[in-house]
Amino acid sequence: MERIIKEYNSWLKENQNFILHLEKHDSSLYSRLMPIYKVLNFLCSETTENGLELDGDLEKIFQVGLEYLHTQVSTCKIYYEKIFNKNFHDFIEYDSIVNYVLFLEDLRYELEENQVKLNEKIINDLMDYLENIMELKSGIPENFNLFVDSEIHKIVDLENFSFHSIIDIFVEIAETLGIDLYSETEFMIGKDI
């Protein structure tokens, strides 16, 4: 248990600035990573400050969350460093494309885990298309989301397959733990009545 907390803290020290930059820029990538990030921070805090024991299910949740977060952030950083030459503002312009790439990787993994037949050619062509847009920095085409969504529906019959990602699972875990993921600060304009 103590080992995984140290591992997470070490990982966090190396990656927290990147995650906070995503949050500051209201990136779709932060929205994607946030449920896992907040659950792990909560569990880490509860363990170190309140003596929560990470055993059984909680240890598994922490391990899976850390592995997933590590993989997702590493993929983002590869694009950030290799394609966008560590220019964060250029990277953020294409965060929706990186988000689709990560989604497709998740979808492929889930389909393979559930032994569901998928159209490899379409998923590979779509990944190539997304990466080419980033590499060429050609701008995001009009109706891009509609095109990508229609291609995703060709990969697998989503009506007969329920895609429940790790992110969805961590949203449910957060709710169970009482973590408010989507609260917004309310502002009052004018005089208090």
pTM of the predicted model, to two decimals? 0.88
Q: Quickly list H helices, 114-143.
A: 120-136
21 found inside a domain = yes
Q: In this structure, what is the dihedral angle of CA atoms 24, 26, 32, 35, given to the nearest 10 degrees? A: 60
193 found inside a domain = no
188 found inside a domain = no
Domain enclosing residue 58, as ranges: 2-177
102 found inside a domain = yes
**Lowest mean per-residue pLDDT among 20-24, 45-49, 159-163:** 159-163
Residue 163: the pLDDT is 80
Look up residue 61 and give its two tokens.
Answer: 């949740």
Mean pLDDT of the chain: 90
Checking if the pLDDT of 22 tops 90, the result is yes
pLDDT tens for each residue of 112-159: 888 888 888 999 999 999 999 999 998 899 999 999 999 988 887 666
49 found inside a domain = yes
12 found inside a domain = yes
Q: How many CB atoms lie within 10 A of CB 35?
A: 23
67 found inside a domain = yes
Q: Who's near 192: CB < 8 A, 6+ residues apart?
A: none
Q: What CA–CA distance (Å, rounded) separates 34 from 154?
A: 29
Q: What is the percent of the chain where pLDDT is above 70?
A: 92
Look up residue 145 and give its two tokens.
Answer: 């989301």
How many domains in the chain?
Answer: 1
45 found inside a domain = yes
pLDDT tens for each residue of 167-190: 999 999 999 999 998 865 555 565
Residue 139: the pLDDT is 87
